[in-house]
Structure 1
Amino acid sequence: MKKRLVFCGLFVFALHAAARQPGCENVGAHLNELASADQQIRQESEVLEQDPNATTTQRDALQQRWQIIDSENLKQFKQIIAACGWPKTSKDSHSAWLLAQHADSDLVFQRLARGLLDASVKAGIAAPRDLAYLADRIAANEHRPQEYGTQFSRTDRCHLGLDQVDDRALVNHRRLAIGLQSLEEYEAEARRHLIPPDCPPGERKIK
């Protein structure tokens, strides 16, 4: 299975709903809980991928738990956005971005989240790099070239590929403009952290 990695009226309604919906004062804590679950299962997956002795049964069981967590996270995250809008602090926005980044099963909602995140960036709340990652994620999901080169796909534990970019020179220019490291440095970091050390040397590279 190919696994993607890292490292309108409705729009206006969602953006302003927080001021008049009950329960939104604790939205940050709720988002943090969902984001923590999101990261925990992915960390477990990376540990398992690095283990050459891990069995297919172990990987399948983790994948099932991963799907359940992502599905429940998406359900709750959509409810939060509908009731409270996009978070109003940079910390909470970052948690929301993480959940939107992994909402691959609902591309329509992922696009809505991008619009909300874009408005938050323009308001000086959200980080431009978060928007870059989400924009690239949507482009990869739509089989379009990335603008920032943030997304990789792994077909197995030893093969990592950078999803298509439009132009490497332009990608590096855009990355520099928002404070990201060069694409070459990013690829080297991905190679160090995402490709297990027991893979054959010739395989330990970005395709």
Structure 2
Amino acid sequence: MKNRFIFLGWLVFALQASAQTIPCDAVSTRLNELAGADQQIRQELHQQTTVAEQESVQKRQMIIDGENLKQLKAIVAACGWPKTTKDSHAAWLLAQHADSDLAFQRRAKEWLEASVKAGVATPRDLAYLADRIAANEGRPQEYGTQFSLTDRCHLVLDPVDDRELVNRRRLAIGLQSLEEYEAEGRRRFIPADCQSGLGR
């Protein structure tokens, strides 16, 4: 099974209630809250040690991701793509995890491209989203940012077009080498008791 790297009842209710009424001058606060919920549930997922615990957290993650996507769509429809680097980064994070709506991810990539050209969004965020879309579409990545956990002991880099070219592209936007990134992935996501490392 692949995994790509509170009280739920009141949280979902609060997110739903605020999604339709948020004024554009409050977008920064709301995006920060949504991004916080996104990261909190993922941290909780990585702390689980049994399959049953992981599946329970994954179900809650799907609910949170769905609500975050609804709110991001409402925010962008009402206010446009965020106009500051911090807010754009938060919006990117939510779009990055909107795998249930590939069409929206593609649209978000277009907004992000325009934001990068305007000097607001970072090229790194655009690289990650472009790779996420490529992986979701079954195409090779250009920056090698996406992995899949095939089980708790195997983290596999999703296909890339050419490792040498990937490293050149990564260097151009200030990312570490693919080899260093793979090693970091091993350290972060592969439990110490696993004997095997990161596959290719």
Q: TM-score, normalised by structure 1?
A: 0.87
Q: Deviations over 1:18-57 (max 9, x none)?
A: xxx9810110110010000000011111111xxxxx3332
Residue 118 (structure 1) shift: 0.4
1:43 partnered with 2:43: yes
Equivalent AA in structure 1 for residue 99 of structure 2: D
- How do residues 80-119 of structure 1 correspond to structure 2 at under 5 angstroms? 80-119=75-114
Kindly report the root-mean-square deviation, in angstroms, between the aligned alpha carbons of the 2 structures.
Answer: 1.3
Equivalent residue, structure 2, for 1:206: 199
SS of structure 2 residue aligned to 1:153: strand
For structure 1, the residue ranges without an aligned partner over 5 or more in a row are 6-20, 49-53
The 8 Å contact of residues 160 and 195 in structure 1, kept in 2 or not, is answered as: yes
How much identity, in percent, do the aligned residues show? Answer: 70
Equivalent residue, structure 2, for 1:4: 4
For structure 2, the residue ranges without an aligned partner over 5 or more in a row are 6-20
Distance 1:22 1:36 in 2: 17
Q: Deviations over 1:76-97 (max 9, x none)?
A: 1111111111000000000001
Q: Count residues in correspondence.
A: 185
Distance 1:205 1:85 in 2: 40
Equivalent AA in structure 2 for residue 104 of structure 1: D
Instruction: List structure 1 segments (4+ residues) > 2 angstroms apart after TM superposition.
Output: 54-57
Distance 1:34 1:206 in 2: 33
Q: Deviations over 1:58-92 (max 9, x none)?
A: 22211111111111111111111111110000000
Instruction: Tell which has more relative contact order, 1 or 2 (C-alpha 8 A, sep 6+).
Output: 1
Equivalent residue, structure 2, for 1:69: 64
Distance 1:22 1:183 in 2: 40
Equivalent AA in structure 2 for residue 140 of structure 1: A
